[in-house]
Structure 1
Amino acid sequence: MFKLKADSINLFDFLGNGKTIFEIPVFQRNYEWGKPQCEQLFSDLLTAEKEDQDHFIGAVVYVTDSGKKMSHIYRIIDGQQRLMSLILLLKAISDIDAENKDEIEEQYLTNKYLDANNHLKLKPVDHDADAFFAVMNGKEYNNPSKVVENYNYFKKRITDSGINTPQLYESMDHFAMVYIELTNDPGDENPQIIFESLNSTGVSLSASDLVRNFLLMSLDSENQAYLYKEYWIKIEQFFTTNAFTEFLRHYLIMKTHNLVKRNKVYDTYKNYFHTHNLDSEAALADLYKFAKFYNEMLNCNTESSEFNKILRHVNVMESKVIYPYFLMLLEMRQNSEIDWDKLIELAHIMESYLFRLKVCRHATNGVNRIVIALCDKDKAKSDLQKNEIYKLNNSFPDDSDLKNSLLEVNLYKQRNNLAKLALVVLEENRTRETINFDNAQVEHIMPQRLNNDWRLEVKNADKINDQLGGTIGNLTLTMYNQEIEQ
Structure 2
Amino acid sequence: MDATKGNIYSILNGNKQFLIPVYQRYYSWDIEQCKRLWNDIVGMQKKNKQGHFVGSIVNIAEQAMPTGVQKYMIIDGQQRMTTLTLLLIALRDYSIDHPEDISINFRRIDNMLLKNEYENGDERYKLLLTENDRDILINLIERKPISENIVSRLLTNHSFFVEQIEKKELMPAEIYESIGKLQIVNITLDRAVDDAQAIFESLNSTGKELSESDLIRNYILMGLENDEQSFIYEHFWRPMELMFDYEKQGTIMDKFFRDYLTMKLTRIPKINKVYEEFKLYHINCEFSSVADLCEDLLKYTKYYTDMVFVRNSNPEIKNLYADVNDLRMEVAFPFLLKVHNDCSEKIITEENLIEILKICISYVFRRSICDIPTNSLNKTFATLRNEIKQDDYMNSIKAFFVLRDDYKQFPNDDKFENAFCSRDIYNMRSRNYILSHLENYKNKAPIVIENYTIEHIMPQNTNLNDEWKKELGPNWKDVQKKYLHTIGNLTLTAYNSEMSDKPFIVKMEMEGGFKESALRLNSYLVKLTEWNENHIKERAKLLTDKAKQVWKYPMISEKELAPYCVEEKLVHKYSLDTYDFNVFTKTLFEVLDKRIMNLSSDVKREYKKLYIAYKVDTNFVDVVVQKQRLRISVNMKFTDIYDPKGICKDITGIGRWGNGDVEVFMDHTSDVDNVMEIIEQSYKQQEE
Q: In which range does the TM-score fall when normalised by the shorter chain?
A: 0.7 to 0.9
The match for 2:354 is 344
Give me the whole-angstrom Cα distance separating, in 2, the residues matched to 1:10 and 1:30.
21
Give me the whole-angstrom Cα distance separating, in 2, the residues matched to 1:248 and 1:119.
38
Aligned pairs for 1:284-295 within 5 A: 284-295=294-305
- Note closer, same or farther for the CA distance 1:42–1:238 as it changes in structure 2 (3 Å cut): closer
The match for 1:64 is 61
SS class of match (2:17): strand
Shift of 1:373: 1.6
- Note closer, same or farther for the CA distance 1:361–1:233 as it changes in structure 2 (3 Å cut): closer
The match for 1:196 is 201
The match for 2:17 is 21
SS class of match (2:73): strand
Q: Is the 8 A contact 1:44 1:55 kept in 2?
A: no
Aligned pairs for 1:377-456 within 5 A: 380-392=389-401, 393-394=403-404, 395-417=409-431, 420-429=432-441, 431-449=443-461, 450-456=464-470
Give me the whole-angstrom Cα distance separating, in 2, the residues matched to 1:164 and 1:242.
38
The one-letter code of the counterpart of 1:78 is D
Higher helix residue share: 1
Give me the whole-angstrom Cα distance separating, in 1, the residues matched to 2:477 and 2:161.
67
**Higher deviation after alignment, 94-103 or 29-38:** 94-103
**Higher deviation after alignment, 152-161 or 129-138:** 152-161
The match for 1:367 is 377
Aligned residues: 472
Give me the whole-angstrom Cα distance separating, in 2, the residues matched to 1:14 and 1:461.
79
SS class of match (2:5): strand
The one-letter code of the counterpart of 1:445 is I
Give me the whole-angstrom Cα distance separating, in 2, the residues matched to 1:365 and 1:139.
53
Give me the whole-angstrom Cα distance separating, in 1, the residues matched to 2:439 and 2:88.
66
Give me the whole-angstrom Cα distance separating, in 1, the residues matched to 2:211 and 2:313.
32
Give me the whole-angstrom Cα distance separating, in 1, the residues matched to 2:51 and 2:437.
69
- Note closer, same or farther for the CA distance 1:194–1:357 as it changes in structure 2 (3 Å cut): same
**Does the alignment pair 1:39 with 2:33?**
no
Provide runs of 4+ in structure 1 moved above 6 Å.
93-104
Alpha-carbon deviations, 1:335-384, whole Å to 9, x = none? 1110022222222222222222111112222222221121336x534323
**Does the alignment pair 1:463 with 2:468?**
no
The match for 1:123 is 128
Q: Is the 8 A contact 1:370 1:391 kept in 2?
A: no
Q: Is the 8 A contact 1:63 1:181 kept in 2?
A: yes
Alpha-carbon deviations, 1:197-227, whole Å to 9, x = none? 1237874233333333333334437447625
Give me the whole-angstrom Cα distance separating, in 1, the residues matched to 2:453 and 2:323.
16
Q: Is the 8 A contact 1:8 1:177 kept in 2?
A: yes
**Does the alignment pair 1:259 with 2:259?**
no
TM-score, structure 1 normalization = 0.81
- Note closer, same or farther for the CA distance 1:207–1:84 as it changes in structure 2 (3 Å cut): same
- Note closer, same or farther for the CA distance 1:339–1:176 as it changes in structure 2 (3 Å cut): same
SS class of match (2:491): strand
The match for 1:231 is 239
Query: Larger relative CO (CA 8 A, sep 6+): 1 or 2?
Result: 1
SS class of match (2:485): coil
**Higher deviation after alignment, 54-63 or 148-157:** 148-157
Aligned pairs for 1:75-94 within 5 A: 75-87=73-85, 92=91
Q: Is the 8 A contact 1:238 1:291 kept in 2?
A: no
Which consecutive unaligned segments of at least 5 residues does structure 1 have?
none
Aligned pairs for 1:127-276 within 5 A: 127-137=132-142, 145-146=155-156, 148-149=158-159, 152=162, 161=171, 176-185=183-192, 188-189=194-195, 191-199=196-204, 203-219=208-224, 220=226, 222-223=230-231, 226-227=234-235, 230-237=238-245, 240=248, 241-276=250-285
Identity of aligned residues (%): 28
Q: Is the 8 A contact 1:89 1:154 kept in 2?
A: no
The one-letter code of the counterpart of 1:436 is V
SS class of match (2:450): coil
Aligned-pair Cα RMSD in Å: 3.8
The one-letter code of the counterpart of 1:254 is M
Give me the whole-angstrom Cα distance separating, in 1, the residues matched to 2:107 and 2:457.
80
Give me the whole-angstrom Cα distance separating, in 1, the residues matched to 2:353 and 2:143.
59
Greater Rg over alpha carbons, structure: 2
Alpha-carbon deviations, 1:221-276, whole Å to 9, x = none? 74476257742441333771433333332222212211133323333333323322
Q: Is the 8 A contact 1:424 1:477 kept in 2?
A: no
Give me the whole-angstrom Cα distance separating, in 1, the residues matched to 2:440 and 2:296.
36
Give me the whole-angstrom Cα distance separating, in 2, the residues matched to 1:248 and 1:290.
10
- Note closer, same or farther for the CA distance 1:147–1:404 as it changes in structure 2 (3 Å cut): closer
Alpha-carbon deviations, 1:56-96, whole Å to 9, x = none? 34211112223775643211122223223444566647967
The one-letter code of the counterpart of 1:24 is I
**Higher deviation after alignment, 204-213 or 354-363:** 204-213
- Note closer, same or farther for the CA distance 1:282–1:72 as it changes in structure 2 (3 Å cut): farther
Q: Is the 8 A contact 1:131 1:148 kept in 2?
A: no
Match of 1:474 among 483, 486, 489: 489
The one-letter code of the counterpart of 1:463 is D
Q: Is the 8 A contact 1:439 1:480 kept in 2?
A: no
**Does the alignment pair 1:326 with 2:336?**
yes
Q: Is the 8 A contact 1:236 1:244 kept in 2?
A: yes
The one-letter code of the counterpart of 2:27 is N
Alpha-carbon deviations, 1:293-341, whole Å to 9, x = none? 2232234442433333433333322233112222221111111110022
- Note closer, same or farther for the CA distance 1:150–1:222 as it changes in structure 2 (3 Å cut): farther
The match for 2:514 is none
SS class of match (2:448): coil
SS class of match (1:413): coil
Give me the whole-angstrom Cα distance separating, in 2, the residues matched to 1:89 and 1:446.
61
Give me the whole-angstrom Cα distance separating, in 2, the residues matched to 1:164 and 1:351.
60
- Note closer, same or farther for the CA distance 1:463–1:471 as it changes in structure 2 (3 Å cut): same
Give me the whole-angstrom Cα distance separating, in 2, the residues matched to 1:98 and 1:457.
82
Q: Is the 8 A contact 2:259 2:334 kept in 1?
A: yes
The match for 1:307 is 317
- Note closer, same or farther for the CA distance 1:425–1:257 as it changes in structure 2 (3 Å cut): same
The match for 2:596 is none
Shift of 1:195: 2.1
Q: Is the 8 A contact 1:38 1:150 kept in 2?
A: no
TM-score, structure 2 normalization = 0.59
The one-letter code of the counterpart of 2:341 is E
- Note closer, same or farther for the CA distance 1:137–1:424 as it changes in structure 2 (3 Å cut): closer
SS class of match (1:262): coil
Give me the whole-angstrom Cα distance separating, in 2, the residues matched to 1:300 and 1:104.
46
Alpha-carbon deviations, 1:16-60, whole Å to 9, x = none? 454x21112344322746452442453377379x56x56534211
